[in-house]
């Protein structure tokens, strides 16, 4: 009778693969000694036949390394966040790590609970995009490394990896100015972080550099519904802006629907540039001009900050790319 995951041991795997228990340990701990690809494959096949899974918590207690990384996400519906974590999972697997996910549903108390649950699983590092005010978020845990995404400033006791929001939005504003727009609204997520959001700072700075009065900011949720409702409010303003920059693709999708419902032509009557540049932005009508972030680079730097012992916590800012399509008027 074949052993199950509850009864199979490292000795059983070693016996079936005809190797020593040390070799089994090297394979599943990714070292400290190298194992030939052929032998490693034999070990993994034997483990699969026995439904053997290493006990990551026990291994963490024994070696100080669980080979697991925790991820706290705000929600599962954001395509840009999904693209980052897909890249992160692929690259972590190449290094012998697996990911454990938890979600906060944008609630600070659930976020704290999710963090504690993952720390109790002895993860080696924890990735998070905090839903609470970043001015008050500061990791005080010493169990693992923290890597924070979507925050463009230094956070004590953590590495932060983000697109340079300020320069990205300034680039988008420059493009709108070249099209002759001077009244450019900003659709942005609820101001829990206030002026700390780099997209807001970049928007203000673009106006300041030209000596122009700032336009209108419309706060909403980072969602399709939020974008729709915010654009409907913008269209009801006494003086309607001629262009808008949205804080995410999801907001832009909702905004486009609102414009269609009001029979406002894009880009003739309202130009749009969206932040994120996910694959879905190519399938709107008209196609969205975007400030495109690089999820692959964000994931690679984030993973290195998590597992490289020589990499100290720091701020890592990446450039966005202006991808010109139709919605801006080009």
Residue 184 has pLDDT above 70, yes or no: yes
| 211 or 9: which leads in pLDDT | 211
- Better-predicted residue by pLDDT, 104 or 295: 295
Residue 275 is assigned to a structural domain of this protein: yes
326 inside domain? no
Identify the DSSP state of 125. E
Angstrom distance (rounded) from CA 137 to CA 150 = 13
In DSSP terms, 219 is beta-bridged to: 188
Query: Which string of DSSP letters, residue by residue, matches 219-248?
Result: EE-SSHHHHHHHHHHHHTSSS--SEEEESS
What is the CATH number for 36? 1.10.260.40
pLDDT digits (tens, 9 = 90+) for 97-112: 989 998 888 888 888 8
Same domain, 82 and 23: no
Q: ∠ CA 37-303-43 to the nearest 5 degrees?
A: 20
Strands 315-318 and 321-323: unpaired
Shared-domain flag, residues 150 and 169: no
Q: Is the residue at 330 inside a domain?
A: no
Q: Tell whether 184 and 263 lie within a shared domain.
A: yes
CA distances for 309 relative to 57, 121, 144, 213, 312, angstroms? 21, 20, 12, 48, 8
If you average pLDDT over each of 91-100, 173-182, 213-222, which comes out highest? 173-182
Q: In whole angstroms, what is the distance from residue 47 CA to residue 36 CA? A: 17
Q: Does 324 reside within a domain?
A: no
Answer with the residue of higher pLDDT: 135 or 254: 254
Whether residues 284 and 205 share a domain: the answer is yes
Any domain includes 255: yes
156/137 same-domain check: yes
> 236: how many CB neighbours lie within 10 A of its CB?
9
| Domain containing residue 229: CATH number | 3.40.50.2300
Same structural domain, 174 and 157: no
Do 26 and 128 fall into the same domain? no
Residue 2 has pLDDT above 50, yes or no: no
Q: Please report which confidence band the pLDDT of residue 3 belongs to, taking 50, 70 and 90 as the band edges.
A: very low
Kindly state whether residues 155 and 183 are assigned to the same domain.
Answer: no
Residue 111 lies in a domain: yes
Does 175 lie in the same domain as 124? no
pLDDT, average across residues 181-190: 93
- Calculate Rg over the CA atoms of the chain: 24
pLDDT band at 227 (very low <50, low <70, confident <90, very high): very high
Residue 55 lies in a domain: no
Pair 158, 274 in one domain: no
Structure confidence by residue, pLDDT tens digits, 17-70: 999 887 887 787 665 577 888 898 898 888 888 887 665 545 544 555 678 999
Give the DSSP letter of residue 27: H
Q: Is residue 61 part of a domain?
A: no
Task: Specify the range with the lowest mean pLDDT, choosing from 49-63, 78-92, 199-213, 291-305.
Answer: 49-63
Task: Judge if 278 and 304 occupy the same domain.
Answer: no
Domain that holds residue 285: 165-293
pLDDT of residue 271: 98
Q: Which of 196-205, 208-217, 246-255 has the lowest mean pLDDT?
A: 196-205
Q: Domain total for the chain?
A: 3
Higher pLDDT, 117 or 328: 328
274 and 178 in one domain?
A: yes
């Amino acid at each position: 009778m074949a052993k199950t995951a509850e009864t199979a041991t490292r000795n059983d795997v070693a016996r079936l693969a005809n190797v020593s228990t040390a070799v089994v340990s090297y394979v599943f701990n990714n070292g400290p000694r190298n194992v030939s690809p052929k032998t490693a494959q034999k070990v993994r096949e034997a483990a699969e036949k026995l439904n053997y899974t290493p006990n990551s918590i026990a291994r963490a207690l024994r070696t100080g390394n669980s080979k697991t990384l925790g991820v706290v996400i705000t929600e599962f519906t954001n395509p840009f966040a999904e693209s980052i974590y897909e890249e992160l999972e692929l690259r972590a697997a190449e290094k012998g790590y697996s990911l454990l996910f938890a979600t906060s549903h944008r609630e600070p108390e659930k976020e704290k609970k999710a963090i504690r649950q993952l720390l109790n699983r002895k993860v080696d590092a924890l990735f998070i995009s905090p839903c609470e005010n970043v001015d008050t978020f500061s990791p005080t845990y010493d169990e693992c490394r923290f890597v924070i995404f979507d925050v463009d400033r230094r956070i004590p006791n953590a590495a932060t990896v983000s697109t340079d929001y300020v320069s990205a939005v300034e680039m988008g504003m420059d493009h709108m100015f070249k099209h002759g727009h001077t009244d450019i609204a900003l659709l942005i997520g609820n101001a829990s972080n206030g002026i700390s959001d780099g997209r807001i700072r970049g928007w203000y700075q673009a106006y300041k550099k030209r000596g122009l009065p700032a336009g209108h900011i419309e706060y909403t949720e980072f969602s399709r519904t939020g974008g729709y409702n915010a654009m409907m409010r913008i269209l009801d303003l006494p003086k309607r802006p001629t262009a808008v920059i949205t804080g995410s693709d999801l907001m832009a999708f909702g905004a486009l629907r609102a414009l269609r419902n009001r029979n406002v032509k894009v880009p003739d009557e309202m130009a749009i540039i969206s932040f994120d540049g996910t694959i879905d932005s190519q399938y709107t009508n008209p196609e969205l001009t975007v400030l495109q972030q690089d999820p692959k680079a964000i994931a690679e730097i984030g993973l290195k900050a998590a597992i490289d012992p020589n990499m100290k916590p720091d701020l890592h800012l990446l450039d966005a790319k202006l991808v010109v399509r139709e919605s801006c008027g080009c």
